[in-house]
Amino acid sequence: MSNRVQRLVDKAALQPRAGIIIHKPSNIFYLSGYTGEGLLVITQALRAIVTDFRYVEQAQQHAPGFSVHSISNDINHAQLAASLLKNEGITTALYEDDEVTVRQGKQLEKAMDTITLSPLNNLPEALRQVKDKDEIKLIEKACAISCEAFEYICGIIKPGMTELQIKRQLENFMMEHGAQSTAFDTIVASGPNGSLPHAIAGDRVIQDGDMITLDFGAKYKGYCADMTRTIAVGQPSEKMLEIYNIVLHAQKTCQDALAAGKNCKEVDAIARKIIGDKGYGAYFGHGLGHAVGIDIHEDPRLSPKCEDALETGHVVTVEPGIYLPGIGGVRIENTCVITKDGARSLVPASRELRIL
Ligand SMILES: [Mn+2]
């Protein structure tokens, strides 16, 4: 963790009289290991956590390299951060203008009277894009728990169950098998609900012949998994089989195309071409994928707008889909790590259509 703070200091080219204030929980966790409330104050010499009484002991345990400072009735977070910075002779502070609320911003401006505030420009997020070996292991473990849950749920889904029952059983299984939580709210979209890419699981009862899209992931030691499988309960319609095979071909082709140096929008374009050539371009309206890590959606994005090049250590999803209003939808998603010689899926579950 101390190495990460030093890399941030280097990336920001932090001057001796400049400091950094971190409010975003995922950046606080990445830089310090601390998961409670509060903020980080960093200078060339200082690594500090500003929090309140409830979290003092937790912060000391999580972040041994940091000094821990508690607010009181007389001094708020902004004032305590300002006093730490002023003690170091700091005159400029970089802060997360995309994270602090308007109210927090006003408090900061007031407290930092002799300090000039300036945007940090998502430098911690830039560092987080390339995952180290330990981070990849944690994402891989999160994916392994998710795949076990997928196997389990395929064994119990039957006509007559509701989407919500499936969602609860899937999430419970992940929790009972090592997940700290779900990485995001599980999507269970059955039958015609499958045409809603981010359908909310509800009371719909599974029927024979339904296809069901399951989009879910475990969170393990702070890191997210993201996977989607569309399965069939009994024999699906010809139309659904047709779009399944197109999505499967697009997913496999794009996953095989992942490599360091490739442009994100170039990989997205492969899926758009495959699906478009079959006449379903208008029914694939979202990006091909996104990076995953501490947050479920990180940069870079595999989207038509993203000019970034993939790098070894990026972890991205590949998740093409086709959504036909009133009929249903198919999406297939793996979380993949970019390696020296291509990419490797962290999701071992088969992508072939599973008919229960
Ligand atoms: Mn995803």
At residue 120, the pLDDT reads 98
Q: How far is the CA of 319 from the centre of ligand 1 (A)?
A: 7
At residue 144, the pLDDT reads 98
At residue 2, the pLDDT reads 66
Q: How far is the CA of 109 from the centre of ligand 1 (A)?
A: 37
Q: How far is the CA of 310 from the centre of ligand 1 (A)?
A: 17
Strand pairing report for 334-339 and 342-345: antiparallel
Q: How far is the CA of 204 from the centre of ligand 1 (A)?
A: 23
Q: How far is the CA of 336 from the centre of ligand 1 (A)?
A: 11
Q: How far is the CA of 20 from the centre of ligand 1 (A)?
A: 31
Q: How far is the CA of 290 from the centre of ligand 1 (A)?
A: 7
**pLDDT average per 10 residues of sequence, the chain (356 residues):** 91 97 98 97 97 97 97 97 97 98 96 96 98 98 98 98 98 98 98 93 96 98 98 97 98 98 98 98 97 98 97 98 97 98 97 97
How open is the CA angle 32-35-39, to the nearest 5 degrees?
65
Domains of the chain with bracketed CATH: 2-128 (3.40.350.10), 133-345 (3.90.230.10)
Q: How far is the CA of 335 from the centre of ligand 1 (A)?
A: 8
Q: How far is the CA of 65 from the centre of ligand 1 (A)?
A: 34
Q: How far is the CA of 218 from the centre of ligand 1 (A)?
A: 12
Q: How far is the CA of 289 from the centre of ligand 1 (A)?
A: 6
Strand pairing report for 187-190 and 211-216: antiparallel
Under 8 Å CB-to-CB from 104, ≥6 apart: which residues? Answer: 23, 78
Q: How far is the CA of 279 from the centre of ligand 1 (A)?
A: 24
Q: How big is the chain by its Cα radius of gyration, in Å? A: 23
Q: How far is the CA of 225 from the centre of ligand 1 (A)?
A: 9
Q: How far is the CA of 187 from the centre of ligand 1 (A)?
A: 11
Q: How far is the CA of 9 from the centre of ligand 1 (A)?
A: 31
**DSSP percent split of the chain into helix, strand, coil, nearest 5:** 40, 25, 40
Distance CA 318, CA 92 (A): 41
Model pTM above 0.85? yes
Q: How far is the CA of 184 from the centre of ligand 1 (A)?
A: 10
Residue type, 68: V
Q: How far is the CA of 104 from the centre of ligand 1 (A)?
A: 31
- CA 256, distance to chain mean position in Å, is 22
Q: How far is the CA of 283 from the centre of ligand 1 (A)?
A: 17
Q: How far is the CA of 226 from the centre of ligand 1 (A)?
A: 5
Q: How far is the CA of 287 from the centre of ligand 1 (A)?
A: 10
Element counts in the chain: helices (H) and strands (E): 10, 19
Q: How far is the CA of 56 from the centre of ligand 1 (A)?
A: 35
Span 100-156, pLDDT tens digits: 999 999 999 999 999 999 999 999 999 999 999 999 999 999 999 999 999 999 999
Q: What whole-number percentage of the chain has pLDDT above 90? A: 99
Q: How far is the CA of 97 from the centre of ligand 1 (A)?
A: 26
* Count of beta carbons in the 10 Å neighbourhood of residue 26: 18
Q: How far is the CA of 217 from the centre of ligand 1 (A)?
A: 9
At residue 343, the pLDDT reads 98
As a whole number, the mean pLDDT across the chain is 97
Q: How far is the CA of 345 from the centre of ligand 1 (A)?
A: 14
